[in-house]
Structure 1
Amino acid sequence: MKKLFPIVAFVAVALISMTMAGFAYFATQEAARIKFEATADDALNRIESRIDLHLSLLRSTQALFDASNGNISQNEFKAFFNALDVDNNFAGLRGIGFLRLVKTGDEAAVERDMLHDHGVSHPIYPDTTQPWRAPIVMFEPLDPSNQAAIGYDMFSEPVRRVAIEKAMSDDEQHASALVQLGQSTGAAQTFPGFLVFVRLNVETAPDVINASRSSTAGFLYAAFRARDLFQIALSRSPLLPVNTEIYDGAVSGDNLLFRSETPPASSFGDRLLVTRKIMVAGQPWTVLFRPTSAFSQPSSRAIPVMLGLFGLLLAGAIALVARYQERAYEAASRLHETTEKSLLEKDLMLQEMKHRIKNSITRVLAIARQTASRATDVNEFSSSFSARLQAMAASQDMLTRSRWQKADLGDLLRIELGQVFGKELPEKLLSGPEVLLDETTTQALGLTFHELATNALKYGETGNSASSLKGDWALKVDWSLEGRGRDGVLVLNWRETGQGKLEAPAKIGFGTKLIDLNVTRELRGTINRDYRDDGLNVEIRIPLTG
């Protein structure tokens, strides 16, 4: 768990930082959305205010007609319109007109009135199958391009007819759907726009439609060029960073009333798209607002990124500190373990040195007695004894060198057995494949072989006779390998024969303890002693690490 702590700390801090960065990002996006919605609502208010101003003009015209009970001449109507200064005060208004409502078949009376008012004959057109006619009898400004509109029957055109029929039912204003202004006059250029109708009731008019106290003589209407109207509304200072699209009803290319010239910023996409539904004289509109490149977000998008990067750096720093602390703890733990192990090894080494010195003295004494028993004079004894002591020293030196590098198992056995039994060992005493031992295994097995050989010398049938290897008592050591690689096991058999029946000792000495510790604890192996009628068989199994 301690090793995983730096990773856990990094992941935890990184997640917290990313969460905070995420919240900051969404807060930034939400702030931008709120700001742009406020901007879009400002633009919508400008549009609605401009439309209300124009519709108030239509109400004023209605009041003029009501005051005269509908008896307004063309000249009076022109004077009223000129006084309004439409070009400066009502930009986007194409004009105001009056429609006479008449039953189909009664057009002659209306045509006579138009001839009287305009001095020019204006037949009502086009032909129709509808029961009602609603020709234009007055319109201002009546410039030459609009002269052809006089006499045009708006009730014959389906879009206009729908709005007129709505205006017949009440005294409210009713807007038409999208129309192409100038289309009825055959003008070369038409403009998308809309019309707003309101009925005109007069008390002397014939009873032509349902009315509680008066009858409908006709309809006042205002024509609006959508582009001019909305550009004037949106061009008021300060300019708003919005791209505006206005649709009559649903959003569709066929219903487009107006689109801003300034394109929307592609970087925002539709993320900040604001949609508003409004009613204009009973007609539903859909208004879309998108930010332009001039729109600035209330806070920089770099802040969440910087916050996320700072969080990752902080997480990395905390993870590094935790890692260094974990390494320091591990180092302290290893130092403590090494110190305790060193003290334990030092104590074991001291005991082993004492025991080995004692064994060495025993071996020296045994060699001296054996040499003396066979020597014929002092010179022969001195020469033989000195040679054996030198052999022991040489073997010890080889063993010492082998502990610090890879050592061959056969060489190690020859050195250890040679120290005890002398250099001249029987040829078939050792048998087995080449096995290279690491430092730990070499040290442990060296002590083990030394103790086994010393015990054999002490407790063999001939007591302390080293030459017994050539007599009835015999020793044979063989080994083999089972498995390969990490699963390999070294199997070593130590066989002593010719000693007669042996029994397990009642008391375990230091040498036996040292052998068991080396094999079972140091080498993680097993040792099995089999005391037979003809001698001793020791099996040692040691796992090899590679």
Structure 2
Amino acid sequence: MKKFFPIVAFIAVALISMTMAGFAYFATQEAARIKFEATADDALNRIESRIDLHLSLLRSTQALFDARNGEISRSEFKAFFSALDVDSNFAGLRGIGYLRLAKAGDEAAVERDMLRDRGVPHAVYPDTAQSWRTPVVLFEPLDPANESTIGYDMFTEPARREAIEKAMADDAQHASGLVQLGQGAGAAQTFTGFLVFVRLNVETAPDGINASRSSTSGFLYAAFRARDLFQTALSRTPLLPVNTEVYDGKVDADNLLFQSETPPVASFGDRLLVTRKIIVAGRPWTVLFRPTSAFSQPSSRAIPVMLGLFGLLLAGAIALVARYQERAYDAKSLLHETTEKSLLEKDLMLQEMKHRIKNSITRVLAIARQTAAHATDVNEFSSSFSARLQAMAASQDMLTRSRWQKADLGDLLRIELGQVFGKELPDGILSGPQVLLDETTTQALGLTFHELATNALKYGEAGNSVGALKVDWSFEGRGSDRMLVLNWREAGQKQLEAPAKTGFGTKLIDLNVTRELRGTIARDFRADGLTVEIRIPPPDTRKQTETG
């Protein structure tokens, strides 16, 4: 088994490292997804805000017609529209118009009214088999090239007719499906867009009757050029790194209202595709967002790769060390193979080394896993993980110098506090009798002192003056009730409060004291500082209890 131990150690550490790298990779992808969803929602808000602005203009026009009971001449409508400065304030709006509602067969009356209002004859077209006619009688802006728009019956076209029929039923605004704007006799150019209709009611009760009776005289409508509308909405500063597709209803090439000119990044595929559903004037739209080349991910893809490489190097180093240790013990066993005592000693040393390596690996992996779970980014993980490994290394160094026999409690405290505070400790901070610690107690207390000192540096007065910290220890009781009592005192001028959430450092301290050392720990947050009392069986007593 010992010959395969370096391979097993390498494979185990490598698998764990690759798993951690995999988690880091998926965390990177998830962060990119969340960031892009926020960007897509920003783009969607811009689109909805722009559409709401245009629809408010249609509501304002409806209020004008309501105030005049529908009696608006061409010159009045033109003056109203000119005052709006549509080109500057409502980009994407092709214009606003009024449809006269008439029964089929009453076209002559509509044509006479258009002749009287416009001064030139206009026919209602095209021919239809529908029972209603809705010709355009007013539209602005209307240049001479588009004069043929007047008289066009929108009820003859299915997409427009569907929206008009919905507008007949209530006073809400209703959007049409995808249409080609500019259609009509002699139209030179058409635009992909959509229309929004709202019915116009006029009072029909005689003046002498005290009653309110109204009927639908026609429909106001707004025509939108889709490309101009969406490009204006998305071109606000700062420019968003999104490729946008807008569909009328479900996603289908025939329903495409708009597509951004900037192409999406092909390497992302549909992994960062964001789909949103919105309702525009009662009609459902589907909006798709994909990242463009300007989109930057919140964290580098190199981090998981670096983490994986570091893990492989660590696995190789552990395997190499284990291999050299195995060879060293093999060489030593050859020198003592002549006696049974030497053979037994070699076996015991090898088993002890295996046990210590496994324990060290288990501790390192547990600390790495818990530190990664509580870290917000790689820098915080690296800093916390390195500090805890250094605390373990300091304990290991003391045991190494004492040949893994005993370590002095006072020396352990000086090393751990000196590492955290980075300075010489003043006299009087540490006080207590000489206590020799075994391996388990040394490593557990080493990590415990490191975490307590780190918390004191972050949150207590010890960060400003090491003299605010006092540590003393003594023995209490006799026989089986004898306990080693350590008192950690942090004095200060500010009130320290118990944390609302238990962090990994606190959990690590509690586990070391209660499980590893079978002791107790009590914290007292006072107005003048913090007191921590740790009670553990003396190392010799605890070892006898475990053996017994």
TM-score (norm 1): 0.60
Cα deviation 1:492-537 (Å, max 9, x = unaligned): xxxxxxxxxxxxxxxxxxxxxxxxxxxxxxxxxxxxxxxxxxxxxx
Superposition deviation, residue 330 in structure 1: 2.0
- Opposite residue 279 of structure 1, the aligned amino acid is I
Asked whether the equivalents of residues 205 and 216 of structure 1 are also in contact (C-alpha less than 8 Å), the reply is: no
Aligned to 1:169: 169
Asked whether the equivalents of residues 196 and 223 of structure 1 are also in contact (C-alpha less than 8 Å), the reply is: yes
| Aligned mates of 1:68, 1:181 — CA distance in 2 | 29
Aligned to 1:11: 11
Tell me the C-alpha RMSD between the 2 structures.
1.9
- Distance change in 2, residues 1:56/1:324 (3 Å): same
Count of aligned pairs: 338
- Opposite residue 24 of structure 1, the aligned amino acid is A
- Opposite residue 308 of structure 1, the aligned amino acid is G
Asked whether the equivalents of residues 333 and 342 of structure 2 are also in contact (C-alpha less than 8 Å), the reply is: no
- Opposite residue 289 of structure 1, the aligned amino acid is F
Superposition deviation, residue 107 in structure 1: 1.1
- Distance change in 2, residues 1:135/1:205 (3 Å): farther
Secondary structure class of the residue paired with 1:113: helix
Secondary structure class of the residue paired with 1:307: helix
Superposition deviation, residue 39 in structure 1: 0.5
Cα deviation 1:297-322 (Å, max 9, x = unaligned): 00000110111111111111111111
Aligned to 1:230: 230
- Correspondence list, 1:352-431, <5 A: none
Superposition deviation, residue 338 in structure 1: 4.8
- Distance change in 2, residues 1:245/1:185 (3 Å): farther
- Correspondence list, 1:69-108, <5 A: 69-108=69-108
Secondary structure class of the residue paired with 1:7: helix
Gaps (5+ residues) in structure 1?
207-211, 344-546
Aligned to 1:254: 254
Secondary structure class of the residue paired with 1:328: helix
Superposition deviation, residue 341 in structure 1: 12
Asked whether the equivalents of residues 204 and 213 of structure 2 are also in contact (C-alpha less than 8 Å), the reply is: no
Divergent runs of 4+, >3 A: 338-343
- Correspondence list, 1:477-488, <5 A: none
Cα deviation 1:314-369 (Å, max 9, x = unaligned): 111111111111222222223222567999xxxxxxxxxxxxxxxxxxxxxxxxxx
Q: Does 1:287 align with 2:302?
A: no
Aligned to 1:32: 32
Q: Which has the larger radius of gyration?
A: 1
- Distance change in 2, residues 1:276/1:105 (3 Å): same
Aligned to 2:204: 204
Cα deviation 1:170-202 (Å, max 9, x = unaligned): 000000000011123442321100000000001
Asked whether the equivalents of residues 28 and 299 of structure 1 are also in contact (C-alpha less than 8 Å), the reply is: yes
| Aligned mates of 2:128, 2:148 — CA distance in 1 | 18
Superposition deviation, residue 213 in structure 1: 4.3
- Distance change in 2, residues 1:81/1:333 (3 Å): same
Asked whether the equivalents of residues 183 and 190 of structure 2 are also in contact (C-alpha less than 8 Å), the reply is: yes
- Correspondence list, 1:430-445, <5 A: none
Aligned to 2:112: 112
Aligned to 2:306: 306
Secondary structure class of the residue paired with 1:337: coil
Aligned to 2:335: 335
- Correspondence list, 1:116-265, <5 A: 116-204=116-204, 213-265=213-265
- Opposite residue 40 of structure 2, the aligned amino acid is A
Secondary structure class of the residue paired with 1:120: coil
| Aligned mates of 1:270, 1:97 — CA distance in 2 | 41
Identity of aligned residues (%): 86
- Opposite residue 332 of structure 1, the aligned amino acid is K
Secondary structure class of the residue paired with 2:124: coil
| Aligned mates of 2:226, 2:178 — CA distance in 1 | 9
- Distance change in 2, residues 1:309/1:150 (3 Å): same
Cα deviation 1:455-506 (Å, max 9, x = unaligned): xxxxxxxxxxxxxxxxxxxxxxxxxxxxxxxxxxxxxxxxxxxxxxxxxxxx
Secondary structure class of the residue paired with 1:222: strand
- Opposite residue 65 of structure 1, the aligned amino acid is F
| Aligned mates of 2:310, 2:341 — CA distance in 1 | 45
Aligned to 1:424: none
Secondary structure class of the residue paired with 2:264: coil
Aligned to 1:390: none
Aligned to 2:269: 269
Aligned to 1:59: 59
Point out the more displaced range, 135-144 or 267-276.
267-276
Aligned to 1:456: none
- Opposite residue 123 of structure 2, the aligned amino acid is P
Cα deviation 1:227-286 (Å, max 9, x = unaligned): 000000000001011111111111111111111111111222221111111111011111
Secondary structure class of the residue paired with 1:25: helix
| Aligned mates of 1:94, 1:342 — CA distance in 2 | 99
TM-score (norm 2): 0.60
| Aligned mates of 1:57, 1:293 — CA distance in 2 | 36
Aligned to 2:318: 318
- Distance change in 2, residues 1:342/1:145 (3 Å): closer
- Correspondence list, 1:386-535, <5 A: none
Asked whether the equivalents of residues 149 and 183 of structure 2 are also in contact (C-alpha less than 8 Å), the reply is: no
- Distance change in 2, residues 1:5/1:52 (3 Å): same
Superposition deviation, residue 205 in structure 1: 8.5
